[in-house]
Amino acid sequence: MAAARDDFATHGFDGAKLDRIAKAAGVTKQLVYHYYKSKEELYSVVLDRVSDEVRAMLDDPDYDLLSPPDAVRVMIERIIQAYRERPYIIGMTVDQDLHKGEHISRRSNYIPSLQRFVTERISPLLERGVAERHFRSGQDPFLFYWSVFALASSVFTQSWAMSKSSGMDFETDEGIARWQAHVVDFVLQSITLPALPR
């Protein structure tokens, strides 16, 4: 599975080769076909595994024990940590979006898993933030999640352009840490309830 994941992440769905995957895994191509009927089926299984890994890193019942602003901060930290520890996520994320989910089977858990995370974690977090007078009301949980995810992950998917255009090196630990701090501040400022005038 790791060989398939790495090949899809490096070469995309179109460029991935089952004979190369089999060779890297130390098995025959026929054995790969014994377990997976097609490249599409293998890709779908790999994508499900990767999305499960990411959700396991992001999903944390301890969010409920943190203040809403701290929970948002931890979520951003975990998105960035997931990309740092699992660089293959970058290729898989870009490739499946490029193909508009064309190779994701109807049985895939990818979209349902993501929807559950937003409805079971993000939505209650935002509601609690409003109830405790941390956040402004009216935040759509899916728009919030995708805004946060896009901002946090861009330091990996757009690092070259970001570095060249800004003169900052976003491929170093220091650059990534600087981006993480910026995203946390930016997101929290965008949703924080304005202080009442004295």
In a domain, residue 1? The reply is: no
In a domain, residue 181? The reply is: yes
Q: What is the DSSP letter of 167?
A: S
pLDDT score recorded for residue 196:
64
pLDDT score recorded for residue 106:
64
| Torsional sign, CA 50, 93, 66, 130 | negative
pLDDT score recorded for residue 110:
72
Positions of the chain with pLDDT lower than 50, given as ranges: none
In a domain, residue 45? The reply is: no
Q: Which domain holds residue 163?
A: 54-191
Q: What is the CATH number of the domain that holds 64?
A: 1.10.357.10
In a domain, residue 15? The reply is: no
In a domain, residue 81? The reply is: yes
pLDDT score recorded for residue 40:
78
In a domain, residue 172? The reply is: yes
In a domain, residue 33? The reply is: no
Instruction: Give the Cα separation of 108 and 92 in Å (integer).
Output: 15
- The total domain count for the chain is 1
What does the DSSP assignment read for 40-70?
Answer: HHHHHHHHHHHHHHHHHHH--GGGGGS-HHH
In a domain, residue 170? The reply is: yes
For 132-149, the pLDDT digits (tens) are 999 999 999 999 999 999
Nearest to 121 by CA among 94, 96, 148: 148
pLDDT score recorded for residue 128:
96
